Amino acid sequence: MNKKIILLVDDDCDDAEFFKWAMKGTEETFAVEFVDSGDAALNLLSELESLPDLILLDAGMPKMDGWELLRLIKQDLKFGNVPVIMMATSNGSKGIGEAHSLGAEAYIVKPSDFNALKLIMQQLCIGVQSNLKNTLESMHSNLPENIYTFS
């Protein structure tokens, strides 16, 4: 069975470790690829044999921020259909609106609680395996302060 690939793009190594820990137990069905910059993400995307099933993208990174990377991903014919979820520490309406206008599937406010992060990651894994859009809508209903979805 081919593993589903989740690409995590985040310049904060501590956050990346939390996301990896939250994915414990899914190693048989998921591979998490981690890069710490927009440039590294574009390089990895062009080198991968198969595209990721989901990209989790931190909004606030130095050099190329998540917004610029999202714009480039969605403009590229090869990567444009890969679902992207923007992540940030703030639930500001400007960021949420920007994520929507640039073509993200959702905007997630990074939870400070590890158990909440683990729940979010478990739900995303279910969505990647079945129906991401329906899963995100369900997640929004259950965690409206953390998950913003776009139709």
pLDDT tens for each residue of 23-41 = 888 888 998 899 999 999 9
Cα–Cα distance for residue pair 64/132, rounded to 1 Å? 27
The confidence score (pLDDT) of residue 1 equals 58
Q: Give the containing element (helix H, strand E) for 144.
A: none
The confidence score (pLDDT) of residue 92 equals 81
pTM for the structure as a whole: 0.93
Q: Give the CATH number for residue 93.
A: 3.40.50.2300
Contact 131, 32 (CB under 8 A): no
Q: Give the containing element (helix H, strand E) for 146.
A: none
DSSP state, 106?
E
Separation in Å, CA 36 to CA 11, 47, 77, 94: 4, 16, 23, 24
The confidence score (pLDDT) of residue 134 equals 93
Count of domains forming the chain? 1
Q: Which domain holds residue 108?
A: 4-149
List the chain residues with pLDDT less than 50.
none
The confidence score (pLDDT) of residue 137 equals 92
Which residues does residue 151 pair with via DSSP β-bridges, in sequence order?
Answer: none
